[in-house]
C-alpha cells in the first residue's frame, strides 16, 4: 500500500516536470542530434568495393603496439590537402584538408600515424547508390580508424603541416589505444556535413560532422582528459562543410520510408533528390557533384540528410552551403574543456 502511494507520488512529480509529455506533446529533440553508437561494426555489404584499399599498411586487426609506462611519446598534428597524391596542392588552396595524428617514441625512435577515414572514399559517404530493384538509397558510408608504422614526413610537411603538439607518457598512450579501439568499434559511419542555423558563433547546431577532423578533435580531448598538456600557442584550423537550415524534421528510416506498407510519396522525393548525385568515380566528378548539389539546394531550399541511418528534412536557408577552414583550439585548462 505504502509503496503504491509512493509510486503515485513519484509519477505525479514526474508529470509536473514534463508537461509536454504529460499532454501527449511531441518528444523533446536534443540538438545537435547525438551521433549513434553501435555495439559492434558490421561487415560492409559486398556491393561496396573500395577504389583504394582501406588502411593497407596497418595490421589487419588494427593492433596498436604497447608502450612501456615510462616511455616518452611525442604527439604530432598532421595535416595535408585531400587527394594531394593525385592533385598536388590544388585542394589545399580551397583548404579541404585531411587531419591525422603522429606519435614518436623518444626512447625507441619508432614513429606511428593514426587517422580516421572513409572505407569507400568521400563520394560514397556523401552520396548514396540508387540500385535497380532496391527502393531505398544504398550507402557505402563506413569510416574507421587506421593505425600504422611510420610517419611520411614529406607527405604531411610539404603542403600541409607536421607540428609537435604534446609529449605524453607510454601509460597515457596505452590508455589512448584502449579508447581508440572502443571508439572504432562503436562509431562506424562517416558524416560529411555540419548543419546549423547560420554561420554565427552562437548558431544552433542541428548535426555535427563525423570525419577525420572530428576524430582528431576527440583524440586530443581524450588525451587531455588522460592528463596530456598541449603546447600553446599553436594555431589549429580544420575544414568543415556546412549546410545552413531551419529546424530539421525527422522523416524515418529505410523500414518506415521505403518498406512495403509505406506511402511511397516521401521515398520518391528522397530518391529523386539524390538521383543526380550518384557516387562520383573521380575527384573531378565529386567536385562537379558538389557544385550541382549546391545549385539544387539553393534552388529548392531542400536537403534530405542521412544521419544515424535515418532521414531528416532540412529547410535550407541562406547562405546555404559553406566550406570553412577555421580554428578550433587545442584543449587547455583555460578553455574549460
Ligand atoms: C564507391 O562505391 C562503389 C560501389 O562499391 C565502388 O565501385 C567505387 O569504387 C566507390 N567509389 C570510390 C571513389 O571508391
Ligand atoms: C578500425 O576498424 C576497421 C574496420 O573494421 C579496421 O580495419 C581497423 O584496423 C580498426 N582500427 C583500429 C585502430 O582498431
Ligand atoms: C606539394 O604541392 C606541389 C605543388 O602543387 C606538388 O608538386 C608536390 O608534389 C606536393 N607535395 C607532395 C608531397 O605531394
Ligand atoms: C618517422 O620515422 C621515419 C623513419 O625512421 C623518419 O624518416 C621520419 O623523419 C620520422 N618522423 C617523425 C616526425 O618522427
Ligand atoms: C550571440 O548571442 C549573444 C547573447 O545571446 C548576442 O548578444 C549576440 O548578438 C549573438 N551574436 C551573434 C553573432 O548572433
Ligand atoms: C526503423 O524505425 C522503426 C520505428 O522507429 C523501428 O522499429 C525499426 O527497427 C527501424 N528500422 C531500422 C532498419 O533501423
Ligand atoms: C502520401 O503522403 C503524401 C504526403 O506526405 C500525401 O499527400 C498523400 O495523400 C499520401 N498518400 C496516401 C495514399 O496516403
Ligand atoms: C585559421 O582560423 C582563424 C580563426 O578561425 C582565421 O582567422 C584564419 O584566417 C585561419 N587560417 C587560414 C590559413 O585560413
Interval between CA 201 and ligand 1 midpoint (Å): 36
**pLDDT tops 50 at residue 21:** no
What average pLDDT does range 317-336 have in this prediction? 87
pLDDT score at 1: 36
Specify whether 212 is catalytic: yes
Residues 6+ apart with CB under 8 A from 6: none
What percentage of the chain has pLDDT greater than the value 70? 86
pLDDT score at 93: 57
Q: What is the mean pLDDT of the chain?
A: 86
* Residue among 135, 137, 253 to mutate when testing ligand 6 (max atoms within 8 A of CB): 253
Nearest CA to ligand 5 atom 5: 202
Give the pLDDT confidence of 67-119 residue by residue, as tens digits: 999 999 999 999 998 764 455 454 555 678 899 999 999 999 999 999 999 89
pLDDT score at 59: 86
Asked which of 83-87, 147-151, 268-272, 298-302 is least confident by mean pLDDT, the reply is 83-87
Axis-axis angle for helices 170-186, 212-225 (nearest 10): 140
Q: Are 325 and 238 in contact (CB under 8 A)?
A: yes
Residues 6+ apart with CB under 8 A from 330: 165, 220, 230, 231, 232, 234, 236
Using alpha carbons only, give the angle 323, 325, 326 rounded to the nearest 5 degrees.
125
Specify whether 98 is catalytic: yes
pLDDT score at 92: 52
Which candidate in 98, 125, 140, 146 is catalytic? 98
pLDDT score at 94: 63
CA contacts within 13 A on the Cβ side of 11? 7
The whole model's pTM is what? 0.87
* Residue among 78, 79, 89 to mutate when testing ligand 3 (max atoms within 8 A of CB): 89
For the chain, the structural domain boundaries read 73-328
At 175, list the grid cell. Answer: 590508455
Helix (H) or strand (E) holding 280: none
**pLDDT tops 80 at residue 9:** no
Give the pLDDT confidence of 256-286 residue by residue, as tens digits: 999 988 888 999 999 999 887 776 667 677 7
For the chain, the straight-line distance linking the first and the last C-alpha, in angstroms and rounded, comes to: 48
Strand spans (E) along 25-160: 72-81, 97-105, 111-118, 143-149
CB atoms within 10 A of CB 175: 17
Give the pLDDT confidence of 167-219 residue by residue, as tens digits: 999 999 999 999 999 999 999 999 999 999 999 999 999 999 999 999 999 99
CB atoms within 10 A of CB 52: 8
Amino acid at each position: 500500500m505504502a509503496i503504491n502511494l509512493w509510486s503515485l507520488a513519484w509519477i505525479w512529480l514526474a508529470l509536473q516536470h514534463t508537461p509536454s509529455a504529460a499532454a501527449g506533446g511531441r518528444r523533446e529533440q536534443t540538438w545537435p542530434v547525438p551521433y549513434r553508437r553501435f555495439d559492434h561494426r558490421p561487415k560492409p555489404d559486398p556491393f561496396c568495393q573500395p577504389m583504394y584499399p582501406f588502411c593497407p599498411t596497418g595490421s589487419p586487426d588494427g593492433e596498436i603496439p604497447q608502450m612501456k609506462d615510462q616511455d616518452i611519446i611525442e604527439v604530432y598534428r598532421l595535416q595535408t590537402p585531400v587527394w594531394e597524391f593525385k592533385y598536388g596542392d590544388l585542394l589545399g588552396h580551397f583548404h579541404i584538408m585531411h587531419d591525422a595524428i603522429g606519435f614518436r617514441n623518444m626512447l625507441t625512435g619508432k614513429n606511428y600515424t593514426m587517422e580516421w577515414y572513409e572505407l569507400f572514399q568521400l563520394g560514397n559517404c556523401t552520396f548514396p547508390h540508387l540500385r535497380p530493384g532496391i527502393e531505398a538509397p544504398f550507402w557505402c558510408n563506413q569510416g574507421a580508424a587506421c593505425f600504422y608504422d611510420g610517419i611520411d614526413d614529406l607527405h604531411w610537411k610539404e603542403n600541409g603541416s607536421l607540428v609537435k603538439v604534446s609529449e605524453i607518457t607510454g601509460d597515457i598512450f596505452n590508455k589512448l589505444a584502449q579508447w581508440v579501439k572502443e571508439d572504432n568499434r562503436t562509431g562506424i559511419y562517416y558524416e560529411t556535413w555540419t548543419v546549423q542555423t547560420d554561420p554565427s558563433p552562437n548558431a544552433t547546431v542541428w548535426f555535427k560532422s563525423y570525419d577525420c577532423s572530428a576524430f582528431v578533435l576527440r583524440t586530443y580531448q581524450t588525451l587531455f582528459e588522460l592528463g596530456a598538456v598541449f603546447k600553446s600557442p599553436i594555431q589549429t584550423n580544420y575544414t568543415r562543410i556546412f549546410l545552413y537550415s531551419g529546424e530539421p524534421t525527422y522523416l524515418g528510416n529505410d523500414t518506415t520510408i521505403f518498406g512495403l506498407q509505406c506511402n511511397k510519396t516521401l521515398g520518391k522525393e528522397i530518391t529523386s533528390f539524390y538521383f543526380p548525385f550518384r557516387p562520383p568515380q573521380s575527384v573531378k566528378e565529386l567536385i562537379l557533384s558538389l557544385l550541382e548539389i549546391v545549385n539544387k539546394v539553393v534552388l529548392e531550399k531542400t536537403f534530405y540528410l542521412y544521419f544515424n541511418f535515418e532521414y531528416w528534412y532540412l529547410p535550407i536557408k541562406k547562405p546555404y552551403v559553406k566550406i570553412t577552414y577555421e580554428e578550433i583550439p587545442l584543449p587547455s585548462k583555460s578553455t574549460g574543456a
